[in-house]
A and B are shown apart, each in its own frame.
Chain A
Amino acid sequence: MTDAAVATSAGRLRDTALGQQELAARLDRLWGTPRGILGWLTTVDHKVIGRRYIATAFFFLCIGGLSAIAMRLQLAKPESRLIDADLYNQLFTMHGSNMMFLFAVPVMEAFAVYFVPLMVGTRNIAFPRLNAFSYWVYLSGGIFLWTSFFLGEGPDVGWFAYAPLTEQQYSPTHRPDVWAQMITFTEVSALAVSVEIIVTVFKQRAPGMTLDRIPVFVWSMLVTSFLVFFAMPAIMLASTSLILDRLVGTQFFVSGTGGDVLLWQHLFWFFGHPEVYIIFLPGTGMVSMIVAAFARRPIVGYLPVVLSLIATGFLSFGLWVHHMFATGLPQMGASFFTASSMLIAVPSGIQIFCWLATLWDGKPVIRTPLLFVLGFVVIFVIGGMTGVMVASVPLDTQVHDTYFVVAHFHYVLIGGAVFPLIGAVYYWFPKICGRMMDERLGRWNFWLAFVGFNLAFFPMHILGLQGMPRRVYTYQPEMGWGGLNLTATVGALILFASFVLLLWNAVRSTRHGVAAPDNPWDAGTLEWATSSPPPPYNFARIPVVTHREPLWAERDELPVAHGLSVERREVLVSTITEARPEIRQASPEPSIWPLLTAIVVGIFFLGSIFTPWAVVWGTPPIAVALVGWFWPKGSREDET
C-alpha cells in the first residue's frame, strides 16, 4: 500500500541546489504571513499564534493579578468596607478561574505552541489551522468571562463551583452559566492544542531525534498534553451536566431525585488535580532547560527526570480525593489517597535532586533566568512540603479551606510555575523578539518578586492555622488576624511592583534591548540553531539530530536534510521512536475559516446559556464553517 502512496511530484523545485540566499528568499515568500489585517487574521504560523497566545495569557495574568490586589486591599484590615460581599465573591472566583483557565494552562501551552516545533526541528506545528482556531476560541472565552464580570454577571461560586450552590435554586442569575461556559471555551482550545503538540512531537521530529534525544521541555509538554487528554473530558462532562441541570432541569447534582452533590466534586477534582500538574509539569520542563543552559552541562539524570514526569502524570489521576477529605468519605478510602498523594513527592523530589546535582557539578552562570530557577527551588519545596502536610487526612481536616491551603497552592503555583515561567521569559525573550532583556532590571525584578512573594504568602500559612477560612470577604478585629493580613497585602503590593517591572522591561527591550545573536546563552537545543527571531519557516534546512544537545555536539556546522520543495509548504513526517523521515507532507496555508468557525462556535456556546434551542439553530453554521475549512481550495497543498 505504501508503494501506491508514493506519489512523486516530478519537476518540482527542491532546496538542494539553491544557495543560502535564494533559498531564504523563496522560503520567506512561501511561509511568510501576508501583511495587513487579513494576513493577521488568517495566519497559521505557530510563532505568530504562539506570540499572540503568550501576550494574551500575560494580559490575563495582569487582570487576574489586579483582582487579587483588590482582594488584598479589602483584607488588609478587619471589617474594611472597601469591597462588599457580592463583589468580593466575584473577585475571588474571577481571580481563581482566570488564573487557572485563562492564564496558567494557556500560557504553558502558548510556550509549547511557540517552542515545541522549534525544539523538535520542524517548520510548523501539526494542524496549524486547528492551532489558529484554538487561539480564537480561547480569546473568546476570556473576553466572554471578563465582559460578563464588567456587566455585573461575574461568577461568584468559587473556581470549583460546588453544587448545589451553582444550581438554579441557589443561583438564579446567569453567573454559574458564565463560569461553566467559560470552561467549555477554554477546554476546547486546550484539547486542540494538546492534540497538535502530541502529533508534532510524535510525528514531526527532525531526522535522528530519537525518543532519548527529545528536549526535556518537549517531554514535559508531551506528558502535559496527555494529562489534558484524560483530565479535561471530566470537566467538560461536569460543566455540561451543570448547564443541563440549570437549563433543562436534569437532576445530576440535585439530591432527592437520585442525583448526588458529591458527584460534582468527584468529576471536578478528577480533572482538577491533574490540572495542577498540567500547570506544574511544563514549569519543570522550563527549569530543566534553564538549569542545563546555565550550569553549562547537560542535565544530570535525563532518564530519571523524564520518568519522573511520566510517573507524576500517572500518579496525578489517583489523587483527586485529597481535595475532599472533609466530605466524610469512608476512612480507609481516604487514607489510600493520603498515601498516593504523598508518593508523588518521590518523582518531584527526584527532579529537585537532579537539578541540584546539575548545578553542583556544573559552573552556574548567574543570570536572571537562573535566579528565577533558584527562587523556584526555594519556594516550590516549601509548597511541596505543605502539600505533603495537607495530604494527611487528620491534618487536612484542620487546614482544609483555610488560608493554609491558599498558601500551599500559591507556593506551588507561583513558586512552581510562575517563577519558572518568568525565568523562561528572560531566557527565551531573545529568541522571540531578537533582543536581550535588561539584566539589571531583571535582578530587581527577581528580588522584588522573591521578597514580595514570601511576604505576601508566608503569613497565610499562619493565618490558616489560626483559623482563618478562605473566601471570606471580611473578618472581625477580635480575631487577631489583622497584622498578618496587612503584611500579606504589603507583600502582594511588592509582588505587583515586580510584575510592573517585568512588563516594563519586556516592553522596553522589544525596542531598545541589545540585539540578540542566534544563541545568546550558548545553549544546546535546536531552537537556538536558527536566527533570533526565527524566520517564518524556522529552519532553512531541517537539522539532522545526532545528539541530545545538538548544538553542543556539533560546534561549527550543523548536519541538515535537503530535498524539500520550495514551491509548496512541506514538513517532514517521521517515525515515532527513531524519527526516520517517511513523508514530505503538505502543511496548510493561511485561512480565514478557523476564525469564522471560532465565531460560530462561540455564538453556539453563548446561545446555549439562554436556550436549549441554540443547539438546533447553532449547529448549521458550524457545519458550514467546517466544510469551508476542510474543502480543498485547489491550492498547491491540495494537489497531490
Chain B
Amino acid sequence: MRERLAQDVSGLPTWAFESKSTPWWGTLGFMAIEGMGFALAVGMWLYLAAVNPQWPLGPPPATLWPGITLTALLVLSLVPNWWCNRMALRQDLRSVQIGLVVMSIIGLVAVALRGFEIAYLNFRWDVDAYGSIVWLIIGLHTTHIVTDVGDTIVLAVLMFTRHARPRRFSDVTDNVFYWVFVVVTWPPLYLLIYWAPRWMG
C-alpha cells in the first residue's frame, strides 16, 4: 500500500518517567500479580481460620519485637525512598547515588530483621495448618524484600558506572515505586501474623 506522511514524531523524546514509559507499566503489572498473590494468601489464612473451630491452632503467638522493629523500619524507609525519587526526577546523579546506597543499606538491615522475625515465630511450618500458612505468608513477603534489595544494590552499582545515563533515572523511579509496593503490602500481613492471633486467641 502507498504511504502518505501524516504525522511527524521526530521531535519526541526518547525516554520518559513513570506512566509514560513501558517499564513502569510492566512493574505495575507484576505488582498487580503479586498483590493478587498476597490477597489470596490472606484469603487462605481467613479460610483456614473460618473452618477451624479454634484458631490459631496450638502454637503460641510470635514474639513481637522483631516484627515491630521491621515494620517501623519499613515505614520510615519510605522517607529516603521518596527523597531518592525526587532526586531522580531532578536527574541529580550525586544525590541519587547517595539515595540508592542508603536504600541498599536499609534493605540489608530489613533482610536481617526479617531473619530475626522468622527465628522468633516460635513455631515451625509443619506443626499444623496455622504454622504452615504463617510461614507461607512471611516467606512470600520475604522473597519480595530480598528481590527488591538485590535489585536496588545492582542499580546502585550501575549508577556509579559509565552507564548512568539520563534514561537510568527512570529505572530509579521504578525501583522506588516497587519498594513502596513491598512496604505497603506489609502492614496487613503484619497485623495478620502478629495481632490477629492475639485478638482471636
Contact = CB atoms under 8 A, between A and B. Distances in A.
Interface of A: 1-2, 4-9, 14, 16, 126-127, 130, 191, 194-195, 198-199, 202-204, 207, 229-230, 232-234, 236-237, 240-241, 244-245, 248-252, 254, 257-260, 262-263, 266-267, 270, 518, 529, 540-542, 544, 551, 556-564, 570, 572-573, 581-586, 623, 627, 630-632, 634, 638-640
Contacts of B15: 5, 7, 583, 585-586, 640
Contact of B3 (A204, A233, A262, A540): A540
A638 B165 CA distance: 8
Given A126-B26, A229-B36, A241-B136, 20 more contacts: A7-B166, A9-B14, A14-B10, A195-B33, A199-B26, A203-B22, A230-B32, A233-B34, A249-B125, A250-B136, A251-B126, A258-B48, A258-B57, A518-B1, A544-B7, A556-B2, A559-B7, A564-B10, A573-B22, A631-B154
B48 A562 contact: no
B41 A8 contact: no
B22 A126 contact: yes
B69 interface: no
9 contacts: A4-B89, A233-B40, A252-B132, A258-B52, A260-B47, A556-B1, A557-B2, A561-B6, A583-B21
Contacts of A540: 3
A465 to B, nearest CB: 34
B37 A561 contact: no
A248 B126 contact: yes
A559 B4 contact: yes
Given A198-B25, A583-B14, A640-B14, A4 B128 contact: no
Nearest to B166: A7
B164 to A, nearest CB: 10
Contacts of A586: 14-15, 167
Contacts of B194: none
A582 B20 CA distance: 7
A6 B13 contact: yes
B16 A252 contact: no
Interface in B15-48: 15-17, 20-22, 25-26, 29-30, 32-34, 36-37, 40-41, 44, 47-48
Contacts, number: 226
Contacts of A249: 125-126
Contacts of B48: 258-260, 263
B132 A16 contact: no
B13 to A, nearest CB: 4
A549 to B, nearest CB: 14
Contact of A16 (B5, B20, B166): B5
Q: Which of B9, B26, B32, B170 has the most CB of A within 10 A?
A: B9
A127 B26 contact: yes
Contacts of B32: 229-230
Contact of A583 (B20, B129, B131): B20
Contacts of A544: 6-7
Please provide the 9 A-B residue pairs with the shortest distance between their CB atoms, ordered closest to farther. Answer: A563-B10, A258-B129, A559-B6, A250-B132, A249-B126, A557-B2, A195-B29, A259-B129, A233-B37
A237 B41 contact: yes
Contacts of A8: 13-14
